[in-house]
Amino acid sequence: MKDDLYVTWIGKALLSYQMLEEALKLCIGVSYEIICASNPSEVDFKFSYSSINNAPLGSLIRMFSNVSKNETLVSDLKSKDVIRWRNFCAHNAFMHEFMNRTSQSFFSQHSVEEIKRVALYTGELVLKVGEELKKLQDLHMRTHSDRPKL
């Protein structure tokens, strides 16, 4: 049962990390569109959607920190634990679980409760980034009044 709960919570954590990446991509893209729309014609601002879409979480956090005024959220996202846990969940969690069954894991023990806390915390970050996205969408509508809402 513990093994099943561990795997279940790893899946929930991975889903939360994926949602966090997608929310950051949207915030960055909308922010860049707002910057483009408000730029004077003498200043050129170019960006590539593919550079956003192909970026890993650490790069997305750096990009977001360059366009966000929400210092608390940026600080929470820049926490080394966010990237460390994401990498563990994405690349090592299943190997860790199955090697733990034979006491051969190279990683420290991680309990179901730890993984659950990580998943729930990441979910909270997703909600906070989502709130930022709502604000950006409103601003985007004001700067792009002739275009449909994102």
How far, CA to CA in Å, does 22 sit from each of 101, 129, 148?
A: 34, 10, 21
DSSP for 92-137 reads THHHHHHHHTTT--SSPP--HHHHHHHHHHHHHHHHHHHHHHHHHH
Q: Is residue 24 part of a domain?
A: yes
Q: Is residue 104 part of a domain?
A: yes
Q: Which tops the pLDDT comparison, 122 or 112? A: 122
Q: Which tops the pLDDT comparison, 145 or 131? A: 131
Contact status, residue 122 vs residue 13, Cβ threshold 8 Å: yes
Tens digit of each residue's pLDDT (9 = 90 or more) over 16-70: 999 999 999 999 999 999 998 888 888 888 888 999 999 999 999 999 999 999 9
Domain count, the chain: 1
- End-to-end CA gap in the chain: 43
Q: Is residue 80 part of a domain?
A: yes
User: How many CA atoms lie within 13 Å of 60's alpha carbon, on the beta-carbon side?
Assistant: 25
Q: Is residue 149 part of a domain?
A: no
Q: Is residue 114 part of a domain?
A: yes
Structure tokens at 103: 């006491």
Where residue 104 falls among pLDDT bands split at 50, 70, 90?
A: low
Q: Which tops the pLDDT comparison, 89 or 58? A: 58
Tens digit of each residue's pLDDT (9 = 90 or more) over 118-141: 999 999 999 999 999 999 999 999
Q: Is residue 70 part of a domain?
A: yes
Q: Is residue 150 part of a domain?
A: no
* Structural domain that includes position 18: 2-143
pTM of the model: 0.85
Q: Is residue 120 part of a domain?
A: yes
How far, CA to CA in Å, does 69 sit from each of 9, 120, 138, 150?
A: 32, 24, 16, 21
